[in-house]
Amino acid sequence: MIDVLGHDFWQPLSVFGYDAPWLYINKHTIIATWIVLGVLAVFLFPIRFIVRNKNSVGSYLVTRFVDTFMEMQEQALGVFAFGPLAFVIALFVFIFACNCASLIPFVEEPTQDLNTTLALGIIAFMYIQFHTIKAHGIKEYIKEYFSPFFLMFPLHVIGKLANIVSLSFRLYGNIFGGAIITKIYLNMVQSSWVWQTAGILTGSGLVITLFFSLFEGFLQAFVFSMLTITYLGIAVRNEGD
């Protein structure tokens, strides 16, 4: 097990004597994440010029994409705010790109690593808590944990942490499950020329790959973003709104 971990994981703290497995860094996830960020950075430049040409089809599609999230954000918060809109769109684009990373040869989805989805869940959770404090004040925020009486404090804490679990584990489970199904199918096809021929003739391999990469990736990215803005709206808006 140590040989496997040493091969697939970085141990940056081992020089200081800390070599516990939970301190290891999955190098494949890190490399795949930076590849995704690089691809997104490359796409930003042409999209910027496309948006400037307001009469183009590309500009219309980008505008409709932003309008969709703007409407979703206004429904959740009751008002328009650029900060939450930019945050949710950035979440969606990054998660969708990570979910589709398997379309790039020799790259696996960073979101099939629980550490990635957990980090995204924690980021969304901290963003929600920040805006909740900003909207209601630190006093009201702390008071909420002890309402209607102080014995409810543990339940409120568990309820808050459940948001992280709901966001991260749902994304991880679906992407990891899709990756496992795809790998099982590809291994089965590669084991026999009969299955390879059938896969080429029927196009089943392409269908399975596109389903779990594009459709499932889009769906899970949208669900994560929608839940984030929903939790933010519930936390920020007053009960009377």
Structure confidence at residue 3 (pLDDT): 38
Non-local (6+) Cβ contacts of 25 within 8 A are 9, 10, 11, 12
Phi, psi of 9 (to 5 degrees): -125, 150
Omega before 148 cis (within 30°)?
yes
Please give the structure tokens belonging to residue 127: 């963003």
Tell me the average confidence (pLDDT) per consecutive run of 10 residues in the chain, 241 residues long: 50 75 82 93 86 84 90 86 92 94 88 92 93 89 83 85 88 87 76 67 70 85 92 74 44
Q: Are 88 and 73 in contact (CB under 8 A)?
A: yes
Please give the structure tokens belonging to residue 241: 């709104």
- Please state, in angstroms and rounded to a whole number, the distance separating the CA atoms of residues 88 and 229: 7
Structure confidence at residue 20 (pLDDT): 74
